[in-house]
Amino acid sequence: MSGTSSTDTLNRRRFLSGLAGAGAALSSLPAKAESAKPDPAITEVQDWNRYLGDGVQKTPYGMPSKFEKNVVRRDVSWLTASPESSVNFTPLHELDGIITPSGLCFERHHSGVAEINPADHRLMINGLVDKPLVFTMDDLKRMPRVNKIHFLECAANSGMEWRGAQLNGCQFTHGMVHNVMYTGVTLKTVLDEAGIKPNAKWLMLEGADAAGMNRSLPIDKALDDCMIAFGMNGEALRPEQGYPLRAVIPGWEGNLWVKWLRRIEVGDQPWQTREETSKYTDLLADGRSRKHTFVMDAKSIVTNPSPQAPLKYKGRNVLSGFAWSGRGTVKRVDVSMDGGRNWQTARIDGPVFDKSLVRFYVDFDWNGHEMMIQSRAMDSTGYVQPSKDELRKVRGVNSIYHNNGIQTWLVRSSGETENVEIG
């Protein structure tokens, strides 16, 4: 123990005097345990069992244990020119279940994080409406509220992997995805209040950040399942995620989920903004471009083992990962350990929601042989996640966005794991 304060010493003394019996209890361990190699973690009374811990209110807003300091978002320094127009990645290999903790949700900003006082924030609705409206945050919080769990995936997730295996870690190859419970108001509720004109076909969503980022959204999708959210995972949105207000566009590419949302214009055609013309379109082999590629197709990734989470033990092991689909629910996930020759159906555990991550597991015994691990998601429309080669056949090799090809991890007999591709 180092850096002990006087109150700590006091607590320790008080605690020691009350603990005279503890040593006696340990010396009566059964003979069987005594004959095994002694493990100090079990044979010795530990400090945390001996001394009082911190009192309440040491951290009014709780933080993870100091032993979890590896569980952080990471960026790739050479990927972007400046941190304001950049991205960092969710540490998928450190997570379990289906909810991404708010502080670990990857960030993608075009002009940095806008710092907005919610008292000064407004949402305006204008264009082809009966009644243009301006809402304060308090106005929105007095409207009927909904809660939904959805994944958000940046269209550029796995974008570096189009021409072959690149980045060594699922955090970097697949970490532009998060899965959050949103609280807010449906877009339909606010649009109904303004009254949309019969010729309205598209919306333009605009952010209040320095990029003034904007995207066109078809009205049918807006009225179907979109939300404007002020809450995530039970509390206010984080600044990085668009505090105080963001669009939630379930199953569609992350770029449409406008953060720091300040204006919705109703129109009869798309706006052809930068983000839907020069960006977020993919060049095909024949020179034409795909545009308005909104939906994120079914995808999956084995997060453990993976390059940042090698196998440590022979014998009993848990393989784990995520799957998701922008078209509905994930119906099944298959896993191969031999590069796609044989497949077994993984066990999905935990809730299965529409357009949300699901968690899958394969419990297996490892005898130390090399493995080529892959996973393949199937969704409620019957769509099956393609191989990278199948994707390239249709899309060529000039794409950046919408790479949902099957990932391969090579697990060496040492347990070390690498990003590879099999041709």
Q: Enumerate binding residues for ligand MTE (CB under 6 A).
A: 105-110, 152, 154, 178, 207, 209, 211, 213, 240-241, 254-255, 257-260
Exposed/middle/buried for residue 93 (C-beta within 10 Å: 0-12, 13-18, 19+): buried
Indicate which of ligand MTE, Co ion, none lies near residue 107 (CB less than 5 to 8 Å, by partner kind): ligand MTE
Indicate which of Co ion, ligand MTE, none lies near residue 241 (CB less than 5 to 8 Å, by partner kind): ligand MTE
382 and 147 Cβ atoms separated by less than 8 Å: no
DSSP assignment letter at 303: E
Amino acid at 328: G
- Of the pair 150, 331, the CB lying nearest ligand MTE is at 150
- Of the pair 264, 410, the CB lying nearest ligand MTE is at 264
Nearest approach, Cβ of residue 162 and ligand MTE (Å): 17
Contact flags string 123-162 toward Co ion, x per CB under 5 A: -------------------------------x--------
151 and 356 Cβ atoms separated by less than 8 Å: yes
Options 88, 216, 255, 399; binder of Co ion; rule CB under 5 A: 255
**Of 388, 325, 411, the residue nearest 160 (C-alpha):** 388
**Of 192, 370, 225, the residue nearest 294 (C-alpha):** 225
Angle at 226 between CA 225 and CA 230, to 5 degrees: 130
Nearest approach, Cβ of residue 248 and Co ion (Å): 14
- Of the pair 253, 379, the CB lying nearest ligand MTE is at 253
| Distance, CA of 329 to CA of 149 (rounded, Å) | 12
Cα distances (angstroms) measured from residue 367 to each of 305, 314, 411, 420: 15, 6, 12, 21
| Distance, CA of 114 to CA of 244 (rounded, Å) | 10
- Of the pair 110, 376, the CB lying nearest ligand MTE is at 110
Nearest approach, Cβ of residue 155 and ligand MTE (Å): 7
Contact flags string 86-115 toward Co ion, x per CB under 5 A: ----------------------x-------
- Of the pair 254, 270, the CB lying nearest Co ion is at 254
| Distance, CA of 268 to CA of 218 (rounded, Å) | 9
* Contact between 169 and Co ion per CB under 5 A: no
* Contact between 246 and Co ion per CB under 5 A: no
Nearest approach, Cβ of residue 104 and ligand MTE (Å): 11
| Distance, CA of 403 to CA of 397 (rounded, Å) | 11
261 and 245 Cβ atoms separated by less than 8 Å: yes
Site size for Co ion (CB under 5 A): 4
Indicate which of ligand MTE, Co ion, none lies near residue 205 (CB less than 5 to 8 Å, by partner kind): none
- Of the pair 182, 366, the CB lying nearest ligand MTE is at 182
- Of the pair 154, 377, the CB lying nearest Co ion is at 154
The closest residue (CB) to ligand MTE is 207
Nearest approach, Cβ of residue 204 and ligand MTE (Å): 13
In this structure, the number of other CB atoms found within 10 A of the CB of residue 5 comes to 8
Residues constituting the chain: 423
Helices (H) and strands (E) in the chain, counts: 10, 23
| Distance, CA of 258 to CA of 207 (rounded, Å) | 6
Exposed/middle/buried for residue 86 (C-beta within 10 Å: 0-12, 13-18, 19+): middle
Q: Which of residues 314-353 bind Co ion (CB under 5 A)?
A: none
Nearest approach, Cβ of residue 241 and ligand MTE (Å): 4
- Of the pair 87, 309, the CB lying nearest ligand MTE is at 87
Nearest approach, Cβ of residue 144 and Co ion (Å): 30
Nearest approach, Cβ of residue 108 and Co ion (Å): 5
Q: Is the backbone peptide bond immediately before 38 cis, with ω within 30 degrees of 0? A: no
- Of the pair 202, 257, the CB lying nearest ligand MTE is at 257
Cα distances (angstroms) measured from residue 373 to each of 125, 193, 390: 49, 51, 18
270 and 357 Cβ atoms separated by less than 8 Å: no
Express the helix, strand and coil content of the chain in percent, nearest 5 each.
Answer: 20, 30, 50
- Of the pair 14, 291, the CB lying nearest Co ion is at 291
Indicate which of Co ion, ligand MTE, none lies near residue 109 (CB less than 5 to 8 Å, by partner kind): ligand MTE
Nearest approach, Cβ of residue 408 and ligand MTE (Å): 25
Nearest approach, Cβ of residue 233 and ligand MTE (Å): 12
Residue ranges that bind Co ion, judged by CB under 5 A: 108, 154, 254-255
